[in-house]
Structure 1
Amino acid sequence: MELGSTDTCRSGAAAPQRGVPRILLVIPCFNEEASIGDLLGEIAATDRPYHTLVVDDGSSDATSAVASARSPVARLTQNLGIGGAVQTGIKYASRQDYDFCIQIDGDGQHDPREIETLLNAYARAPTNITIGSRFIDNAGFCSTRMRRAGIRLIARALNALFTGGRITDPTSGMRLLDRRAIAFFAKAYPMDFPEPISLAWAMRAGLTVGEIPVEMRARENGVSSIDGLKSVSYMIRVLGYILLARIARRS
């Protein structure tokens, strides 16, 4: 892994005053040269004291070059997948003693203005993990019909098998982690199907999960890695992993 200078690991306004929570935005990317520059520009335009870390997951395009003009970049020498990329950022947040680690995707689907929505929700009712959900208000882009059906089944499985939260959008890649969640996931994080499986692991360990409605956008560039028949395979395999997590809790 190659990591640029962290002295300016931020995007936005001047350095926060003492006592203001330190917030790291972890942005996993794989071949997102067409999107990451605009996204970092939007983050800077919020004029909030966010620190950013782009995790380039072995991209073959100019993702790192584009991102490094606006943000520190952790460049992975080989593709680890979304789980490995996200945990790279979480480990950095743990080592640098951040109060919050917020994951947003590098493809532009997550509006940076919604980051404040997550933080406000945490301030009102703190939970170790706060998810930005597409399905509470059903505003904005909500994915395809087949994928929505699969997400509902995964959510029902998590809600039926674990306590710690009522979840509608377990595959959302927009989520806030507080200090307890950062410490937990810095030690171990699922490499396969990390969004829903990480929730199963967290709830199994007694961490709390909350949701807040956010509005997401359709991907403008690139294609999703989970489309068509892949979404059916994804759903079946995730349900299996969730059941295994529940069984492990009992043993």
Structure 2
Amino acid sequence: MEYTLKKSLGQHFLKDESVCHRIVASLKEDTFSRLVEVGPGGGALTKYLLEIPDIDFKAVELDDEKVTYLEHTYPSVKGKIIHQSILDVAIPFEEQFTVVGNFPYNISSQILFRILEWKKHVPVMIGMFQKEVAERVASASGSKEYGILSVLVQAFYEVEYLFDVPQSAFNPPPKVMSGVIKLKRRETVCDMKSERAFFVLVKAAFNQRRKMLRNPLKGMFTPETLQQEIFTKRAEQLSVADFAALTFLMK
């Protein structure tokens, strides 16, 4: 049984078995009893995930044709596929679950925001992204890659860049390199006024990342507060802790 690749869904299917083995090995470094695979596609990873003993497994797949293909090729996956987009799906488990996937590149940022919505349930995520996105999530303050995604994800998760994946590992080969990262939920999170205040502040700060913070943030703080030295810095110079502390000074 064959399947077609759909550009509209950002489909690039993994064909390199060694990459699959490395992802599964990274996954097994932590214990888990529930696992959600996002975008199983042609089942390159799925066939190994189905072999992990004593876990409750679910896969989230939007594409009808891939659902049919997976159920035909890997009969044990029947009844375990949630036939929806990861962006629309209800939380797959009420208990703690790990997330893994070769994520569709066209919605990779939205998938990370989804993980943040589910962070109380997701202690670990291992995902493949476009290398540029993977580096952005893992980058430290002061670097040019450091941005909204870096701060918001790192506030709640420790991020580890695991390895690069070349274009040749996929069918069809994407135009860009890929990278696999691991998110591990932090035991303690910086104090902040509220998560909503933190998200709003970080997004506004990076909206004009070349300017001193007092420009993009002027509506959020009193004129007196904006005289503090921290507001002469640019967004990329602030750590996660700096942003969290600033939320308490917001109007």
Quickly name the TM-score band, shorter chain normalised: 0.3 to 0.5
- After TM superposition, the score normalised by the length of structure 2 is 0.37
Structure showing greater Rg = 2
Q: Which has the higher contact order (CA 8 A, sep 6+)?
A: 1
